[in-house]
Structure 1
């Protein structure tokens, strides 16, 4: 795994947002438009994109890659204050990184929480190609991550519970993943309380878009509803659940192929 160039930008509310950059592999004809990656809830750039091999696949295909750690995650600043969170703030953070690096256009990839962030950002800036994964009809019907499958209040309480052994299996798995990564649980609970619910202007998205989801992902039920709501979007189903971002070679190859076609 290649070591990135890591830096930070202080955004309008004083929060430091970390981002990680990888150059295209030597000897490969490079695409001038970089790929920006936004990870999912509890994870960070390294867990969702570097370790599974997506970054390496992209740089081998001639892509410069920028991964953004969402506020409260990875190397970005932490806070237990729910008022400092929400995917719209995260989208503004992502746009601040794009502006700092002087990127006139990008290809943008987001997964789960990061898909909401990517959709919000793509409705506000120039994106050539957009990939949104791990989400489905919830984007259209409840305005963001599907809180019908993962109630945000329950999730916030579970992340702060003293005895995680009493948690429902799905939520227990999220907490265990967060703890394995050394994530800051109060920050994650704050984001759970601030989850985006007010809808996304999908009609404003002009990027060529791929919606990709595991066919057994409870957080991405009926992904065709989302694909049909974005002009010209295509849909790809991958065998598996919400974990396909880290476990499925088919997911990685589908993302890389779409960005490079």
Structure 2
């Protein structure tokens, strides 16, 4: 049985897929590299958590991922452009302002969105992204090599193996992912981070060696706060219950739903 097509919208000449769940104040969920709206947010229970708390959860398949178009040109994957995709989805849905929840690459996209279109972003959660928002991702070239390798067996770099296994598990287009990795990891300027006006929760796993320190990034943000997800690495922090609880507590203070306000 084939996968049923998701609703879609147009952005920058691309057709991108999305889903909307529940009612209430909107939370736009932007997934990480090699993932999708389903894998990152539905399968991990985030959509259920958000809708159960009275929010509307909106998931987006980033360009190059899920059911969205997958260009092979690295020039199509800068985070500024993917942030514009997220704003285009809000436009498509007629939403003036939303909270944004991003994980890993999705957190980087959320940061650029909050900087470029600050009036559209009420509050932001950076999951799996600390100071490497500014410092960049040191393992990026190894991940590209891992995605391009003929087989998993010849890979020895642990991060490259990790993402190759994940990409194969999600049946992702590895050529599109390699193109995405070239440019989507572009760092954000420290001065731009300091100009993000929205309240931001920086949530990083205690054993996450890919994200960078959450406390340092939170200290640079005008309204930043840090949360360490206990005993979790980059991959296993995504659906962690303590992460969800911290996110709901943060949203309750900065973007309360109608029953809370």
Aligned to 1:243: 235
Aligned to 1:147: 137
Distance 1:5 1:161, change over 3 A: closer
Aligned to 1:165: 153
Say what the alpha-carbon RMSD is for the aligned residues: 1.7
Structure 1 residues 246-257: aligned runs within 5 Å = 246-257=238-249
CA distance in 1, matches of 2:246, 2:187: 30
Of 165, 178, 182, 1:176 maps to 165
Q: Kindly state the Cα deviation for residue 5 of structure 1 after the two structures are TM-superposed.
A: 9.9
| Matching of residue 44 in structure 1 with residue 33 in structure 2 | no
| Matching of residue 212 in structure 1 with residue 212 in structure 2 | no
CA distance in 1, matches of 2:218, 2:67: 32
| Range with bigger deviation, 181-190 or 240-249 | 240-249
Structure 1 residues 21-100: aligned runs within 5 Å = 21-24=20-23, 30=24, 33-100=25-92
Q: Kindly state the Cα deviation for residue 101 of structure 1 after the two structures are TM-superposed.
A: 1.2
Q: What TM-score do the two structures reach when normalised by structure 2?
A: 0.88
CA distance in 2, matches of 1:160, 1:183: 12
Q: Kindly state the Cα deviation for residue 247 of structure 1 after the two structures are TM-superposed.
A: 4.4
Q: Kindly state the Cα deviation for residue 153 of structure 1 after the two structures are TM-superposed.
A: 2.2
Residue deviations 1:193-246, cap 9 Å, x none?
A: 123425241233111110000011011222211111110211000111102344
Q: What TM-score do the two structures reach when normalised by structure 1?
A: 0.88
CA distance in 2, matches of 1:230, 1:43: 27
| Range with bigger deviation, 204-213 or 248-257 | 248-257
Q: Does the 8 Å CA contact 2:143/2:159 hold for their aligned counterparts?
A: no
User: 1:204 is paired with a residue of what secondary structure?
Assistant: coil
Aligned to 2:213: 222
Q: Does the 8 Å CA contact 1:244/1:251 hold for their aligned counterparts?
A: no
Q: Does the 8 Å CA contact 2:28/2:99 hold for their aligned counterparts?
A: yes
CA distance in 2, matches of 1:252, 1:153: 31
Aligned to 1:8: 8
CA distance in 2, matches of 1:51, 1:253: 17
Q: Does the 8 Å CA contact 2:62/2:82 hold for their aligned counterparts?
A: yes
What is the aligned residue count? Answer: 244
| Range with bigger deviation, 36-45 or 167-176 | 167-176
Q: Does the 8 Å CA contact 1:159/1:189 hold for their aligned counterparts?
A: yes
CA distance in 2, matches of 1:106, 1:203: 21
User: Runs of at least 4 residues of structure 1 off by over 6 A?
Assistant: none
User: 1:210 is paired with a residue of what secondary structure?
Assistant: strand
